[in-house]
Structure 1
């Protein structure tokens, strides 16, 4: 990448939050607390019809510490300005504690209970009224300068093919190197798609102890997949020209760039400073909740819970999804796929294959697109209204101090 991209990182305007973080968006979240409240919540969002009103939720009725933590983290994400919680009334989610956590974070938080509000139609009508009030409350919110060193960026690959590992993924790696050099926090995942790369990652770890933890996290993922009887190599990957799990793993690994790995985090852990972080999304303990993530969006949600302001999504086969709360920038690895799906793809990394750009040039294009979106320009999936959101059951143990060896003690 050119020296000018690195030496003059831009600033933009952002929304200050009580915890010191800053948001690049100021959305209202409508969150259902059980699947039985999903329809009502969806109709509220649909009737408001505003790109800055987002639907999220947890479908389960039984309690789960992971799901509760994710909901708290997502509802207090820096891109969220206000929240409407929608409860059926008899689910196990502690709605009062969730509402209080949101209020304590300095955000307005409303609660509707369908069983106490007259049913479907009346709750939808009241929900629309309250969301519009919340939007009015956020209108004209003050903004402050935000720099690159306050930005958290995630990356994920979905629908990979034989071009992903030689175009889009390493181009994101170039962008990550530049962002880390500027002081940003960058998050890559997932250990289940990095099997075989554990020793390489351990060599890049900030400390030997962190390197051992990275190796252990990948070994855990390998055991988990073996127990489940299948891995992360999908039929679509084979159709797209990938031949082995190793080939897919190396392609996924290339998104991480070449910076030292500063830490190993789990869903809901917020990077304490700039640097490169590996996100372990494979549950701890014995496999009991099925496939670690049933779709790419489940991993995006976990990166959002870690504070990612936006996500770089690479795809060779073509994926049209986006996400609620945090913008998704789509980077298409395959030039033919880009031609077919250009209305959904922000960047054509296939230009590397056609000789129209180098890896460094694509890395700089992605880098500049990150700042355009951070500064308020909508990504294509965001402008198209994509708000996919998936939250399931999982279980994690807290990380230890060796996972964040460079944490600064205030």
Structure 2
């Protein structure tokens, strides 16, 4: 369960090999509801098997959405997922046939329960639990195999930020990102709505001038989007914690990207083609149609997972306690007072930087913990049973060639 080093000190972790050649760091059975009306049945199916690795994901909407379809296809074929049970009410517009086909093509066991055809709640739950139990038994026999850092994808988000975030937790994650990228891993940061004011500095780090312009445009789009909404990505808790403007918050959020070259710009569900550092543009394209881009931190985590993130580094100062279905969340607390109150929910006390610990020391702790969690160590949120998940409506246009320069 521990990561090791061999061959010229290259870091090696352990994962589960999938038929498509990717490797996962967890071996979950995903029970996916395809409309809110099926969520209760999906949750009841999972309930006895939470400790064994069954987890609930899903899309609540009754009407079709290309973004949601792509997200669910990516999530149900995520490297951390070994089998999938789809739970449909029966009359929703979600294309369950396309989703099941994508899962089957990936080599994963998949089954669909249609509640209206199965006979209702009790029969659907019983049928689903029998299927999940059988898959858990099969997956329990899987053995971990060596996995190089060049096969690892790590995302980062920050939520519940305050005045300490930008001087402790976020820059410490930035140092961990620099080291991960240096060893060949893929690292993804976001959110364009919280990078306003950092466009020029960020563009200067781009692999090509064309990519730099795309990075700038993505932030400018976010600024227009939020201006139209009349509400930026700045909450009351941010102000109570000592932040004064979105630009000040952005400087702290930007710090978690580190200092490595930025190799590409992706949108939710796009898979980075190789190791390196990528910005994820999470703000929908086109006119404002679907409200606030991400209504909670878990929406951003889901988008990271849809782009292949095996785990997420989550910096919080005010004290978010959430985890995530499918992919572990490492909680990094930026504020020492918050850590003292909520230590059981946190994995790293980055707030100790304020009392003399170095950024380098905490960055190294985050790097080492990332490798340990990738090889099986449970995070605090996993131990507490946190498996939050949310997916909403959005719309995106495909990225252009300048976004992924060769």
- Describe the SS at the equivalent of 2:398: coil
Residues 301-320 of structure 1 mapped to structure 2, 5 A cutoff = 301-320=302-321
1:327 aligns to what? 328
Alpha-carbon deviation of 1:8? 2.6
Q: Aligned equivalents of 2:148 and 2:59: distance in 1?
A: 33
Where does structure 2 lack aligned partners over 5 or more consecutive residues? none
Structure 1 runs of 4+ with >3 Å offset: none
Length-normalised TM-score, structure 1: 0.96
Aligned counterparts of 2:397 and 2:191: Cα–Cα separation in 1: 17
Q: Number of residues paired by the alignment?
A: 402
Q: Is residue 103 from structure 1 mapped to residue 104 from structure 2 by the alignment?
A: yes
> Do 2:13 and 2:149's aligned partners in 1 also have CA atoms closer than 8 Å?
no
The CA deviation string for residues 150-182 of structure 1, in whole angstroms up to 9 with x for no partner, is 100000000001100000000000000000000
1:135 aligns with 2:136: yes
Aligned ranges for residues 138-177 of structure 1 at < 5 Å?
A: 138-177=139-178
Q: Check the 8 A contact 1:28/1:82 in 2, yes or no.
A: yes
Structure 2 counterpart of 1:383: 383
TM-score computed with the length of structure 2 as normaliser? 0.97
Specify the alignment match of 1:13 in structure 2. Answer: 14
What does 1:75-94 align with in structure 2 at a 5 Å threshold?
75-94=76-95
CA contact (8 A) 1:167 1:350 kept: yes
> Shift in Å at residue 48 of structure 1?
2.7
Preserved CA contact (<8 Å) 2:174 2:255? yes
Aligned to 1:28, the other structure's residue is in SS state strand
User: Pairwise mapping of residues 7-406 of structure 1 onto structure 2 (< 5 A)?
Assistant: 8-355=9-356, 357-406=357-406
Secondary structure at the aligned position of 1:165 is classed as coil
Alpha-carbon contact 2:52-2:136 (below 8 Å) kept: no
Q: Secondary structure at the match of 2:330?
A: strand
Deviations 1:93-127 (A, max 9, x none): 11111111101001000110000001011111111
Q: Is 2:28–2:53's contact at 8 Å kept on the other side of the alignment?
A: yes
Cα-Cα RMSD: 1.3
Paired residues of 1:193 and 1:248 also in contact (CA < 8 A): yes
Unaligned runs of 5+ in 1: none
Residue 142 of structure 1 deviates from its aligned partner by 3.6
1:51, CA displacement in angstroms? 4.7
